[in-house]
């Protein structure tokens, strides 16, 4: 059974950032030169990640998501997937990626035990994709999505952060894709975190506005279900559509009351809440030879430290890290 936090929420989900590095430089995430990467020695080794996941599984955490940065830029990730997928107690192992390297690794990841992927995609226009990502090609991500579907890493969920005057004019185009088989699009409100606070302030688009635009042009969105994950998205379906439209509303309709997750940063800090700077150091005890019971005790400490909700409405904005370090 999952361990309960102080507000009786069962904590069953751990997001693991395997690297803070990324092969893109998205304008709302990083400056053109990127951000200073942490030295390799500060990043958790794979065997240390395995230890944390084993400890978490013994405490009832059954869902693991590998994130970054971009997780596929780290060498040997397929081997980590293979190791983690064999840990008793886990029933879901997924990954969030920008998709640019997915065509190369999709079959290997599936064979290693990965169950599904979420792909970050903020535009369907090649020139805009290059402008937003600075280094990317839309064709690579689309090839990655196709490869993931062919490898049966499904459902493939497309994560689209909606930002005013950047890509909000494409929400109908994205929603229209769900009329094709196996297209599941999730629109996400941009969150203020570290250096992206200005983007979140000036570019914020509430999901109620996105939904209204879609329904005005494409018709009613009816409640739907989509298997896999257990995350905060609310899913809908257009009449006659095969896929789904999801909305994730961390600002306009926060879902803290049902939050079931912890986050492990690339450098080994356990965060009870994405939108709080509080974190617990696991790397130091791991490298000092801590026993499994000590790691479990620290995880329980993080669970107990989960706040009831974030405090963005009171202008309490986390500043300690950028998203690429935390993994979203």
* Residue 70: half-sphere exposure toward Cβ, Cα within 13 Å: 19
Domain containing residue 140: CATH number? 3.20.20.70
Residue 153: which of 108, 187, 186 has the closest Cα? 108
- Predicted local confidence at residue 323, as pLDDT: 65
- Predicted local confidence at residue 313, as pLDDT: 54
Spatial separation of the C-alpha atoms in residues 311 and 248, rounded to whole Å: 17
CA angle (43, 198, 164) in 5-degree steps: 110
Contacts of 120 (CB under 8 A, 6+ apart): 96, 97, 98, 99, 159, 160, 161
For tokens 């009816």, what's the residue?
A: 222
Q: How many CB atoms lie within 10 A of CB 14?
A: 25
Show the tokens assigned to 76.
Answer: 């040997």
Show the tokens assigned to 171.
Answer: 């929400």
Rg (CA), the chain: 19
User: Whole domain around residue 102: which residue ranges?
Assistant: 3-326
Spatial separation of the C-alpha atoms in residues 114 and 202, rounded to whole Å: 37
- Predicted local confidence at residue 11, as pLDDT: 96
Residue 264 near residue 23, CB atoms below 8 Å? no
- Predicted local confidence at residue 190, as pLDDT: 87
- Predicted local confidence at residue 61, as pLDDT: 97
**What is the 8-class DSSP label of residue 300?**
H
Spatial separation of the C-alpha atoms in residues 185 and 10, rounded to whole Å: 27
Per-residue pLDDT of the chain (328 residues; tens, 9 = 90+): 888 999 999 999 999 999 999 999 888 887 777 777 889 899 999 999 999 999 999 999 999 999 999 999 999 999 999 999 999 999 999 999 999 999 999 999 999 999 999 999 999 999 999 999 998 999 999 999 999 999 999 999 999 999 999 999 999 999 999 999 899 999 999 876 655 556 556 788 999 999 999 999 999 999 998 876 667 899 999 999 999 999 999 888 877 888 999 999 999 999 998 878 899 999 999 999 999 999 999 999 999 999 987 656 555 455 556 666 676 6
Residue 324 near residue 37, CB atoms below 8 Å? no
Spatial separation of the C-alpha atoms in residues 136 and 142, rounded to whole Å: 11
Residue 71 near residue 95, CB atoms below 8 Å? yes
Reduce the DSSP state of residue 157 to 3 states and report it.
strand
DSSP class per residue in 208-220: HHHHHHHHHHH--
Alpha helices in the chain (DSSP H): 46-58, 77-84, 102-112, 126-133, 138-150, 171-177, 197-203, 207-218, 283-287, 292-304, 323-326
Q: What is the enclosing helix (H) or strand (E) of 227?
A: none
Domain count, the chain: 1
């Amino acid at each position: 059974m999952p361990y309960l936090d102080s507000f009786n929420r069962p904590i069953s989900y751990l997001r693991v950032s395997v690297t803070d590095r990324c092969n893109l430089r998205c304008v709302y995430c990083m400056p053109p030169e990127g951000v200073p990467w942490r030295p390799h020695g500060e990043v958790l080794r794979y065997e240390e990640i395995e230890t944390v996941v084993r400890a978490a599984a013994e405490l009832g955490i059954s869902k693991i998501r590998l994130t970054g940065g971009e997780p596929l830029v780290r060498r040997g990730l397929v081997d980590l997937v293979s190791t983690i997928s064999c840990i008793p107690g886990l029933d879901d192992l997924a990954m969030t990626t920008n998709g640019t390297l997915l065509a190369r690794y999709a079959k290997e990841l599936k064979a290693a035990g990965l169950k599904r992927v979420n792909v970050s995609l903020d535009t369907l226009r090649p020139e805009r994709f290059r402008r937003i990502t600075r280094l990317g090609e839309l064709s690579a991500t689309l090839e990655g999505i196709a490869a993931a579907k062919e490898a049966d890493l499904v459902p493939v969920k497309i994560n689209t952060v909606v930002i005013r005057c950047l890509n909000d004019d494409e929400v109908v185009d994205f929603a229209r894709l769900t009329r094709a088989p196996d297209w599941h699009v999730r629109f996400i409100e941009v969150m203020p975190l570290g250096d992206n606070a200005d983007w979140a302030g000036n570019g914020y688009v509430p999901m109620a506005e996105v939904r209204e635009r879609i329904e005005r042009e494409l018709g009613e969105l009816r409640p739907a279900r989509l298997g896999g994950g257990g995350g905060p998205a609310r899913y809908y379906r257009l009449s006659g559509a095969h896929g789904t439209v999801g909305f994730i509303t961390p600002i306009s309709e926060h879902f803290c009351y049902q939050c079931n997750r912890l986050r492990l940063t690339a450098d080994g800090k356990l965060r009870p809440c994405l939108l709080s700077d509080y974190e617990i150091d696991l790397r130091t005890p791991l490298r000092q030879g801590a026993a499994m019971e000590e790691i479990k005790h620290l995880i329980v400490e993080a669970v107990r430290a989960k706040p009831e909700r974030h405090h963005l409405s009171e202008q309490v904005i986390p500043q300690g890290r950028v998203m690429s370090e935390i993994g979203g």
